[in-house]
Amino acid sequence: MKRGHFITIEGNEGAGKSTIAVMILDYLRTKGLEVVATREPGGIAIAEQIRAIVLDNGNTAMDGRTEALLYAAARRQHYVEKIVPTLEQGKTILCDRFIDSSLAYQGYARGLGIDEVMSINAFATDGGLPDLTIYLDVDPEVGIERIHAHGDREINRLDLESMSFHHRVREGYLQALARFPGRIRRVDANPGVEDVFVEVRAVLERYFSERE
């Protein structure tokens, strides 16, 4: 059986990831693909339990490496229990956040080092990477403003970080993009959602046309 497509969506806070993810899901299903949508940290019971620890507003004492290892541990379990078996059944995976979140947040923004974080993640996924990553790039001021304006999502421990942290996250994503230019596709997420999706759809069309 032909292995399914492994697609991830990434972005800094308030990039509109969840809304665009729903539109991507719809696009992929319209193409006739069988798609499983999932997210990190989480996606399966063990990883959701780790998610609760890592995003707990009370855990302000959490060390940066502890955080990176917890994300990688959650990823490992999600990868072997859900992502790989689903791909092997020929289904497409659409995952909200994956390794590049760790590179941007832990590797760059927390200063642990992109290479160091890449190596624990390579251990977690046996070196496996997505086939395509869509990175929604929003100006951090615009992103945080959107989160506050909507008030439709609980503010978590990472949202509470300073503005300079969010700028570093964006810089971290740009570094990941420079490292994986073929896999990661950047889309400007500052305009309204309809305009952003026009660009996202173009990225998807190009990806599929290169494979068909």
If one asks whether residue 185 binds ligand TYD (CB under 6 A), the answer comes out as: no
Q: Minimal distance in Å, beta carbon 155 to ligand TYD? A: 9
Site track for ligand TYD across 141-180, x = CB under 6 A? ---------------x-x----------------------
Task: Tell whether omega for the bond before 41 is within 30 degrees of 0, i.e. cis.
Answer: yes
Inter-axis angle of helices 140-150 and 163-179, nearest 10: 120
Closest CA to 75 of 171, 8, 2: 8
Give the binding-site size for ligand TYD (rule: CB under 6 A): 14
Residue 50 · residue 69 · CB < 8 Å: no
Kindly tell me which residue out of 5, 76, 78, 97 binds ligand TYD, with binding defined by CB under 6 A.
97
Closest CB to ligand TYD among residues 55, 129: 55
Q: Measure the CA–CA gap between 107 and 38, rounded to whole angstroms.
A: 23
Can residue 102 be called a binding residue for ligand TYD (CB under 6 A)?
yes
Nearer to ligand TYD, 152 or 194 (CB): 152
Should residue 41 be labelled a site residue for ligand TYD when binding is judged by CB under 6 A? yes
| Pairwise CA distance, residues 21 & 194, whole Å | 13
Q: What is the largest CA-CA distance in the chain?
A: 49
DSSP, collapsed to helix, strand or coil, labels residue 89 as coil
Residues making contact with ligand TYD (CB under 6 A): 13, 17-18, 40-41, 55, 71, 97, 101-102, 105-106, 156, 158
